[in-house]
């Protein structure tokens, strides 16, 4: 089975014929949405039919990995942009959690609330990319990281972006506010062009940051790997999903590899952030060690300069660490 749809600006026909996206059942000319040519087979657990089981499992793995990354970030108390990058991981966690319910069919496309949850998921996805973009400028210290201004700017703008995209999505799904599910051009721009722009700006900003401010060039490798994983995710989803699906007899499709490669891209984002903050932490520890070394040296010099030499004092005089001479036995009264 093949699709005659061609890739065109603002149209989901070609995209949804190759990828089982969450929004596809809500778009198109019919009430059934746009169906992909090939998609992963369903699995029945007990009396519950689960859609996209492999992709849902990958979402669960992503949740576990995000928790680990969050714990590692929270342990780096002195790291630059620590609180800002945590917001990125929190939003990604919520997006993956909601994706489990939508991809697996726990919230079925026929449900009245599916459109609302799909709109929230679309808004969260846009907020992730915006949050990543803003995090890309934290290292330039235009606003001091960790301050209320920095955090509220990031949280506020991410919330606004997510809200706007979510409203456009629900308006498109419900054919309201002048929007149409048959011609979802606005949603198409926000779902595909906007994330691409955010990623491009983020990558350019990070290259500029590394090349202009750091002596170490290893973080560039993290950027390149993260970019490669993100690009591969899009290619496997939109170009080879049907091929993969047919090759493995409908056990997997492109959504599984899309979720997997996106997870790798997020992990490389963490690795890149960690590589930027590593030098700061090492400098902090090194400074403390040097401070203790200086302190110990001063203490030894004081001991050497004391009139009594070392120990508790062996002569008439007493210096640092020596007890004063006592009068007559135990105390001044004498027994």
In order of start, what are the domains of the chain with their CATH numbers? 47-239+256-286 (1.20.1070.10)
- Out of 194-198, 207-211, 281-285, 305-309, the most confident range is 194-198
Closest CA to 170 of 157, 186, 156, 159: 186
Contacts with 86 (C-beta within 8 Å, 6 or more apart), sequence order: 70, 73, 74
Question: Is the per-residue pLDDT at 109 higher than 60?
Answer: yes
Q: How confident is the model at residue 48 (pLDDT cuts 50, 70, 90)?
A: confident
Question: Is the per-residue pLDDT at 322 higher than 80?
Answer: no
Beta bridge partners, 43, equal 50
Question: Residue 325's CB: how many other CB atoms inside 10 A?
Answer: 10
Q: List, in sequence order, the alpha helices (H) in the chain.
A: 13-18, 53-75, 82-103, 114-135, 148-173, 185-188, 194-213, 218-238, 241-247, 254-305
Q: What is the largest CA-CA distance in the chain?
A: 113
Question: pLDDT, tens digit, for every residue of 292-319?
Answer: 444 455 456 555 555 544 443 444 443 4
pLDDT above 90 coverage of the chain, percent: 63
Mean pLDDT of 114-138: 96
pTM over 0.85: no
Place of tokens 């990623």: 199
Question: pLDDT, tens digit, for every residue of 176-186?
Answer: 999 999 999 99
Q: How confident is the model at residue 16 (pLDDT cuts 50, 70, 90)?
A: very high
Decide: 186 and 169 in contact? Cβ < 8 Å. no
User: What does the pLDDT read at residue 301?
Assistant: 56
User: What does the pLDDT read at residue 259?
Assistant: 96
Beta bridge partners, 45, equal 48
- Picking from 151-155, 186-190, 310-314, which range would have the lowest pLDDT averaged per residue? 310-314
Question: Is the per-residue pLDDT at 282 higher than 80?
Answer: no
- Picking from 44-58, 246-260, 298-312, which range would have the lowest pLDDT averaged per residue? 298-312
Mean pLDDT of 160-187: 95
- Calculate the average pLDDT of the chain: 84
């Amino acid at each position: 089975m093949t699709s005659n749809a061609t890739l065109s600006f603002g149209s989901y026909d070609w995209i949804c014929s190759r990828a089982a996206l969450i929004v596809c059942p809500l778009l198109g000319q019919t009430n059934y949405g746009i169906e992909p040519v090939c998609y992963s087979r369903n699995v029945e657990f007990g009396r519950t039919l689960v859609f996209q089981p492999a992709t849902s499992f990958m979402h669960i793995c992503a949740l576990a990995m995000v928790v680990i990354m969050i714990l590692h970030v929270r342990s780096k108390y002195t790291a630059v942009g620590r609180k800002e990058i945590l917001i990125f991981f929190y939003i990604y966690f919520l997006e993956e959690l909601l994706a489990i319910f939508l991809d697996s069919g726990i919230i079925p496309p026929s449900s009245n609330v599916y459109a609302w949850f799909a709109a929230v998921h679309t808004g969260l996805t846009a907020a992730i990319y915006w949050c990543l973009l803003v995090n890309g400028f934290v290292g330039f210290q235009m606003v001091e990281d960790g301050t209320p201004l920095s955090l509220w700017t990031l949280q506020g703008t991410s919330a606004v972006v997510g809200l706007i995209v979510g409203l456009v999505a629900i308006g498109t799904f419900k054919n309201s506010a002048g929007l149409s599910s048959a011609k979802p051009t606005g949603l198409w721009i926000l779902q595909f062009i906007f994330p691409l722009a955010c990623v491009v700006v983020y990558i350019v900003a990070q290259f500029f940051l590394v090349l202009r401010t750091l002596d170490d060039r290893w973080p560039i490798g993290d950027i390149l790997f993260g970019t490669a994983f993100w690009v591969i995710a899009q290619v496997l989803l939109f170009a080879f999903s049907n091929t993969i699906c047919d090759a493995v007899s409908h056990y997997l499709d492109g959504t599984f590899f899309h979720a997997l490669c996106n997870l790798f891209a997020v992990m490389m984002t963490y690795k890149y952030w960690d590589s930027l903050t590593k030098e700061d932490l090492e400098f902090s520890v090194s400074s403390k060690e040097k401070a203790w070394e200086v302190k110990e040296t001063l203490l030894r010099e004081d001991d050497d300069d004391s009139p009594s030499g070392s120990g508790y004092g062996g002569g008439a005089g007493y210096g640092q660490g020596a007890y004063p001479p006592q009068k007559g036995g135990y105390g001044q009264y004498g027994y």
